[in-house]
Every structure is written in C-alpha cells, then in structure tokens.
C-alpha cells in the first residue's frame, strides 16, 4: 500500500503543470465582414478562466498584485473572465505570462499574420470580449514618420476606427515615440487609447495596471460595463482619477488629469483597483457623446483651401486652424449622452489646455449639455515638464476643452474638443482701428527656417504674405515677399483656386506651388 501511494505521488508530480492560461487562436474563418471596413470575430470563443491557476503570479506581486490578491480575499472579483489580451508587436513588448497566469491571450493564425492583421495599430477587427492590448511600434521610415496614435489621428479612417474600438470595450496602449519630447506633435487629444511617455517598453506599466483593474471589478459590475459597452470609458476615468497628481474632483476636472500622453511612473494601480472594486452596477458613469451644432471652422480655408475639420467623432472633435482670422466659434452639444441607469446628468466644460484669456466657453442650457465655444489665435507655448530624468521644455500648440458628465455619483471620462494651430508658421496679429485684432503677416517658409511640420496636415512655401487693408479696415490684397528677394501684389481672394497643391511625395514634404 505504501509503495503504491508513493508511486502515485511520483506520477502526479511528473505530470506537466499548467503555468498560464492557453492562448486562443484567431483564424480567418472566424471573421465576418462588417460595416465600415471592419471584421467581427464572431467565431472566436474564449475559454472560462482556469481558477486552478493563481490570479496573480509571484512576479505580479511586484507590480501591485498584492492589492488584487487582498481584494480577491475580501470579496468576489471578476478576475479575468471574459478578458482578452492582444499583443500587436509580435512579442516585442508583451505582458509577461507569469504576471497574471489566468489571463487569456490572443494569437493569430498564420494566414492572418501573413496579412499583417496581428501587427501595429488596432482597429479593423472587433473581438467578442473585453480587450486590452498594445503595440510598441511606430512609423520609422519615409517623410511622415510618427507614432501609432498620431497615425490614427491623421489617417482617413483612423479616428472612426479608434472610436469604434473604444465603444466596443477595447482599449490599447501605444508609446509616443518622439511625438511628445521637445514638442507635442499630436494634432488632438482623445480618450480612445492610452499613450505612454517613451518608446518600446514604456507601455508595460499601463498594461499591468489595466489588467489588475479589470480583474478587480465585482462580477456584476464587470457584466454591466461590458453589456453597456462602457468598459473602455470607465477604465479611462479610473486611470485618470487615480493619476498621481490628481487629489480632488477639482483636479480631475482640470488638465492635470488629462494629458495627451501619460507618465508610467505616475500610475497608481492600487488606487485604480480600489476604485474598480468599489464600483456598483447602478453607479457606473456614462460616455459623453458630442455633436457639432454650429461650426465656424470651414472645409476650404487658408491659402491652400484645405479643410479645418480634422475629425468628428462622438468622443472627440478636432479642428485645425487654417483661416486668417483672429477668433473662431462653434456650438457643441452633449445632449445625446445617456446614463446607463437613467440618472439625471449634469455637464462640465473645462479648459484643459490653452490661454484662459483667449478661450471662452458659454453653457447654453441649465444642465450644461450645450455650449458655445470661442477660441482666439494661440502662438506656440513652451511649458516646463518634469519626469524621472529631470526637467524639460516642451512646446505645445493645441487648445483642449474637456466635457464631463456627472450622474451624481461618478464623473465620466472626458470627451474632447480640440483646436490645433500651425505652429510652423510665423503669424503676426495687431489691433485694428476698430479695436479688434487682424492679421498682419504670415511667414510660410518652415523649410527655410528648419522648423518641423506634419507633412500630412501642413505645407511649406518660400515666402511671407503681408495683408494690406484699406481705410475702412477691409482686406484689399496681399504683398508677397519672396525669400528669393522678389515682391509682388496679389488680390484679396488669393487661394481660391489660384494655387495647386502638390501632395506628399516619397522624397519631399507637402508643398504649395505657384
């Protein structure tokens, strides 16, 4: 009997032990083509989480996992049931398996990998799960090098795809990689993804924090967030409210909590898990949904007659300043926002970034659901930032307005209205005789001055245009001062079909040609 018992023990000990959840493989046959060029992974099935595996591995304890273990011992938490991790850089910066052994990971079939469906910016595939993921990649060659978030903001379908992910419980993390160092090059701010300060690997603290926060939700709260498709907005709210500099509601409703790029060192995963564990289904916050009612930004503005409307999505509206005027106005509504539990909502419109003397926000309804926004021209501004390596100067050229909905218990994640200024142009404005401000001149020669500009959004030309006004203050024409020494006079309607635009070429930037 004793020999048999010992032999049995040896056999059990020699069996292979599972150290982590199995991956699920996405095959092309599981995809169904949907609207707007997207694919729905209808045939993908997630296994139930294996509760014989630890929720947090020993290595995960060093990332704050001891808080999650404590919470799981005090109350029922969702764990990783229904959660899927999607790494999109082929293991270059992947969340280690031994951090969270129960977490199910996505892999792609050879056919999809050959097609590049597993790599880079997410957006074309919607997965039937709560998804978080990352890609430590960027566009590193050609004249339009950029991080993946800036690629999403400046490509034709990027904003709509990013918004669809956000509204379907997907949240991805991407590094800013050179787009937020000496200069903030992002043309907008939005809630659709998280952008980490730094390059490859800077996304890792965010992935760990998101994983533990997802695991900390009570099962009924997790289900309510999933079914109402509010998981990504709620994760954004929790991360921002728990961010190290944010110590009050007042701070949450300010720019401190909502930078376009986040520092990994300022994450507080313990706070995030506490927020998640305390949330109940009847207190989950809504997602703010915006709509432009009146728009003073045009479709054919400035010398090149280009659109100023970068994108319009429900969670973010972005404009580019091309017009010659001193101020612009628009009316925006958040009245389409609904609380998932039918609670009455009130709205806050907050200037997050920009000169308070040059931005005016006028609520138009008692609950604040609509507002008139007027923005005056902003020159580039240099701000002093601090990170673990010290103090740094960073130029920025963007006005940001955050819109928040409160259901009386929780404030929502922000929606954004942003205006991006062409900081590569040297513009001069002066007081007119009538007391207002008017344009004096624009130096377009960014290339000649060696100043960076985004070739997908802007252009350069070797001249300065000076505005000429008559005695009544009306524009009567332009004096073009060429940087070759030539000067000529142009009519006031210059730009209306007089010029052709040479599009981005492989060997040169975007350039306006006479």
How confident is the model at residue 501, as a pLDDT? 47
Instruction: Report d(CA 360, CA 138) in Å as an integer.
Output: 36
Domain of 318, in residue numbers: 291-420
Instruction: Report d(CA 440, CA 118) in Å as an integer.
Output: 51
C-beta separation of 501 from 514 below 8 A: no
How confident is the model at residue 61, as a pLDDT? 77
Q: Do β-strands 316-320 and 309-312 pair in parallel, antiparallel, or remain unpaired?
A: antiparallel
Question: What is the Cα 173 distance to its own chain's centre?
Answer: 9
Query: Could you tell me if 173 and 278 lie in one domain?
Result: yes
Which SS3 state, helix, strand or coil, does residue 298 take?
coil
Question: From start to end of 354-397, where are the E strands?
Answer: 359-363, 370-376, 381-387, 390-396
Query: Could you tell me if 350 and 440 lie in one domain?
Result: no
269 token code pair: 């995963």
Helix orientation angle between 269-278 and 65-74, rounded to the nearest 10 degrees:
20
203 token code pair: 């996304």
C-beta separation of 77 from 192 below 8 A: no
Of 511, 302, 327, 514, the residue nearest 429 (C-alpha): 327
Instruction: Report d(CA 191, CA 258) in Å as an integer.
Output: 9
Query: Could you tell me if 414 and 460 lie in one domain?
Result: no
pLDDT under 70 in the chain at which residues? 1-18, 388, 495-514
Domain end residue (candidates: 258, 283, 308): 283
Question: What residues pair up with 418 in beta bridges, in sequence order?
Answer: 318, 400
Query: For residues 56, 61, 62 and 65, what is the CA-based torsion angle, rounded to 10 degrees?
Result: 70
- Residue the block writes with tokens 């404590």: 70
* Radius of gyration of the chain measured on its C-alpha atoms: 26
Instruction: Report d(CA 183, CA 202) in Å as an integer.
Output: 18
How confident is the model at residue 495, as a pLDDT? 55
Query: Could you tell me if 485 and 416 lie in one domain?
Result: no
Domain end residue (candidates: 390, 420, 450): 420
94-100-104 Cα angle (round to 5): 75
Q: Which residue stretches of 319-381 are H helix?
A: none
Instruction: Report d(CA 4, CA 8) in Å as an integer.
Output: 6
Tell me the pLDDT tens digit for each residue of 1-56.
444 544 444 343 443 456 788 899 999 999 999 988 899 999 999 999 999 999 99
Burial (CB < 10 A; 0-12, 13-18, 19+), residue 54, is: middle
Of 490, 496, 441, 446, the residue nearest 467 (C-alpha): 441
Which SS3 state, helix, strand or coil, does residue 235 take?
helix
Query: Could you tell me if 50 and 156 lie in one domain?
Result: yes
CA distances from 352 to 254, 337, 361, 382, 457 (A): 5, 21, 12, 16, 23
Which SS3 state, helix, strand or coil, does residue 379 take?
coil
Tell me the pLDDT tens digit for each residue of 238-273.
999 999 999 999 999 999 999 999 999 999 999 999
How confident is the model at residue 17, as a pLDDT? 52
Query: Could you tell me if 133 and 50 lie in one domain?
Result: yes
Which SS3 state, helix, strand or coil, does residue 464 take?
strand
Of 258, 232, 244, 123, the residue nearest 167 (C-alpha): 232
How confident is the model at residue 382, as a pLDDT? 86
Q: What is the CATH number of the domain that holds 332?
A: 2.60.40
How confident is the model at residue 493, as a pLDDT? 83
How confident is the model at residue 432, as a pLDDT? 87
Query: Could you tell me if 260 and 312 lie in one domain?
Result: no
Domain end residue (candidates: 231, 260, 283): 283
Instruction: Report d(CA 22, CA 44) in Å as an integer.
Output: 14
Query: Could you tell me if 398 and 458 lie in one domain?
Result: no
89 token code pair: 């850089």
Query: Could you tell me if 51 and 111 lie in one domain?
Result: yes
pTM of the entire predicted model: 0.93
On whether residue 137 sits in a domain, the answer given is: yes
Q: Give the number of domains in the chain.
A: 3
Residues of 206-227 as b/e, b for ≥16 C-beta within 10 angstroms?
A: bbbbbbbbbbbbbeebbebbbe
- Residue partners of 168: CB distance under 8 A and separation at least 6: 126, 229
411-320-252 Cα angle (round to 5): 20
């Amino acid at each position: 009997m004793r020999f048999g018992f010992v032999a049995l023990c040896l056999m059990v000990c020699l069996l292979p032990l599972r150290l982590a959840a199995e991956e699920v493989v996405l095959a092309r046959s599981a995809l169904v083509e949907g609207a707007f060029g997207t694919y729905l992974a209808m045939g993908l099935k997630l296994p139930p989480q294996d509760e014989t595996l630890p929720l947090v591995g020993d290595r995960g304890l060093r990332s704050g996992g001891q808080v999650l273990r404590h919470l799981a011992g005090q109350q029922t938490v969702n764990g990783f049931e229904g959660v899927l991790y999607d790494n999109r850089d082929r293991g270059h910066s992947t969340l280690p398996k031994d951090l969270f052994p129960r977490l199910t990971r996505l892999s792609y079939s050879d056919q999809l990998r050959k097609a590049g469906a597993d790599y880079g910016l997410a957006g074309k595939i919607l997965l039937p799960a709560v998804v978080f993921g990352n890609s430590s990649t960027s566009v590193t060659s050609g004249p339009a090098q950029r991080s993946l978030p800036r690629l999403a903001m400046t490509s034709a379908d990027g904003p709509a795809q990013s918004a669809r992910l956000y509204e379907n419980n997907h949240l991805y993390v991407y590094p800013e990689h050179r787009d937020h160092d000496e200069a903030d090059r992002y043309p907008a701010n939005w809630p659709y993804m998280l952008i980490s300060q730094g390059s490859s690997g800077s996304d890792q603290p965010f992935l760990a924090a998101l994983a533990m926060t997802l695991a900390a939700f009570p099962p009924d709260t997790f289900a309510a967030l999933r079914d109402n498709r509010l998981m990504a907005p709620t994760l954004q709210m929790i991360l921002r409210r728990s961010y190290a500099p944010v110590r009050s509601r007042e701070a949450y409703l300010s720019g401190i909590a909502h930078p376009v790029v986040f520092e990994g060192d300022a994450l507080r995963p313990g706070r995030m898990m506490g927020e998640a564990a305390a949330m109940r289904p009847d207190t989950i916050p809504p997602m703010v949904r915006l709509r432009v009612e009146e728009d003073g930004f045009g479709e054919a503005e400035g010398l090149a007659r280009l659109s100023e409307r970068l994108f319009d999505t429900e969670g973010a509206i972005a404009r580019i300043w091309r017009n010659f005027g001193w101020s612009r106005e628009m009316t925006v509504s958040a009245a389409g926002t609904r609380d998932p539990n039918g609670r009455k909502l009130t709205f806050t419109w907050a200037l997050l970034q920009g000169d308070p003397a040059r931005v005016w926000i006028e609520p138009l309804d008692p609950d604040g659901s609509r507002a008139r926004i007027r923005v005056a021209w902003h020159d580039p501004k240099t701000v002093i930032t601090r990170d673990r390596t010290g103090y740094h100067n960073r130029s920025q050229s963007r006005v940001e307005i955050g819109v928040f909905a409160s259901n009386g218990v929780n404030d929502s994640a922000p929606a954004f209205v942003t205006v991006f200024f062409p900081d590569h142009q040297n513009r001069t404005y002066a007081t007119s005789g009538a007391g207002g401000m008017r344009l004096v001149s624009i130096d377009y020669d960014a290339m000649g001055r060696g100043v960076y500009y985004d070739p997908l959004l802007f252009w350069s030309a070797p001249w300065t245009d000076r505005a000429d006004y008559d005695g009544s203050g009306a524009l009567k024409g332009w004096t073009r001062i060429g940087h070759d020494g030539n000067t000529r006079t142009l009519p006031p309607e210059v730009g209306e079909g007089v010029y052709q635009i040479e599009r981005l070429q492989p060997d040169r930037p975007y350039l306006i040609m006479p």
